[in-house]
Structure 1
Amino acid sequence: MTSKRHLATWRDVALIHRLEFPLPVNYVCYASLGACFAAGGVGSFRNVTVLAAIVANLPLVVAPQALNTVADVRTDERHPERGRLTSAVRRFGRDRILRWAAAELAFAALLAGLVSVWSGRPLIAAAAVATIAIQVLYNAEPVRLKRRGLTGVAAFCAATLVLPFLLSYWAVRPDVDVTTWPVVAGLWLLAAGRMTVWSVPDLAADAATGMRTPSVRYGAAGALARSAALFAAGLVLTGWGLWWRYGPGWALPLTAAQATFLGNAVSLLRHPARVRKARILRRMTPPATIGTVALAVTPLVAS
Structure 2
Amino acid sequence: MPRLASWPDLVVVHRLQFPLPVNYLCYAVWGCGFATGDAARILEPAVLAAILANLLLIIGPLALNVAIDMPTDTRHADKGYLAIAAARLGRRRALALSWTEMALGLLTTAGVGLGRDRWWPLAIAAAIVGAQVLYNVEPVRLKRRGLLGSTAFGVASVGFPALLGYTATGTSLDTTVWLIFTGAAVLSVGRTVWWAIPDHAADAETGVMTPAVRCGPVRALGVACLLLQAGLFLLGWGLWRRYGPVWSVLGLAVHALFLGRAIRQLSQTARRNPPTAGVLLRRTLPVVTLGEVVLTVIAFAA
- Same-fold call, TM > 0.5? yes
C-alpha distance in 1 between matches for 2:125 and 2:171: 16
Name the aligned partner's letter for residue 291 of structure 2: G
1:214 CA drift (Å): 0.8
Partner of 2:41: 44
- The within-5 A match list for 1:46-65 is 46-65=43-62
Tell me, what secondary structure is at the counterpart of 2:6?
helix
1:193 CA drift (Å): 1.1
Please state if 1:225 is matched with 2:222: yes
1:184 CA drift (Å): 0.9
C-alpha distance in 2 between matches for 1:186 and 1:44: 24
- The within-5 A match list for 1:1-303 is 9-272=6-269, 273-274=272-273, 275-302=275-302
Tell me, what secondary structure is at the counterpart of 1:19?
coil
C-alpha distance in 1 between matches for 2:221 and 2:154: 17
Name the aligned partner's letter for residue 159 of structure 2: V
Name the aligned partner's letter for residue 112 of structure 2: V
C-alpha distance in 1 between matches for 2:44 and 2:157: 24
Using structure 1 for the length normalisation, give the TM-score.
Answer: 0.95
1:173 CA drift (Å): 2.3
1:124 CA drift (Å): 1.0
C-alpha distance in 2 between matches for 1:134 and 1:157: 10
C-alpha distance in 2 between matches for 1:156 and 1:190: 12
**Contact 1:121–1:174 under 8 Å retained in 2:** no
Using structure 2 for the length normalisation, give the TM-score.
Answer: 0.96
Name the aligned partner's letter for residue 107 of structure 1: L
Name the aligned partner's letter for residue 205 of structure 1: A
Name the aligned partner's letter for residue 14 of structure 1: V
- Post-superposition CA distance 1:182-241 (Å, at most 9, x none): 111110111011111111100000001111101001111001100100001100110010
**Contact 1:75–1:206 under 8 Å retained in 2:** yes
C-alpha distance in 2 between matches for 1:173 and 1:155: 26
Name the aligned partner's letter for residue 279 of structure 1: V
**Contact 1:53–1:167 under 8 Å retained in 2:** yes
1:83 CA drift (Å): 2.1
1:123 CA drift (Å): 1.0
1:43 CA drift (Å): 2.7
C-alpha distance in 2 between matches for 1:68 and 1:174: 33
Gaps of 5+ in 1: none
Name the aligned partner's letter for residue 301 of structure 2: V
C-alpha distance in 2 between matches for 1:40 and 1:88: 40
**Contact 1:31–1:164 under 8 Å retained in 2:** yes
C-alpha distance in 2 between matches for 1:110 and 1:119: 14
**Contact 1:34–1:164 under 8 Å retained in 2:** yes
Q: Which runs of 4+ in 1 moved over 2 A?
A: none
1:44 CA drift (Å): 1.7
Tell me, what secondary structure is at the counterpart of 1:114?
helix
C-alpha distance in 1 between matches for 2:281 and 2:174: 34
C-alpha distance in 2 between matches for 1:257 and 1:82: 27
1:46 CA drift (Å): 2.8
Name the aligned partner's letter for residue 204 of structure 1: A
Tell me, what secondary structure is at the counterpart of 2:173?
coil
Name the aligned partner's letter for residue 218 of structure 1: C
C-alpha distance in 2 between matches for 1:116 and 1:170: 11
1:295 CA drift (Å): 0.2
- Post-superposition CA distance 1:82-122 (Å, at most 9, x none): 22221111112111111111111111111110012212111
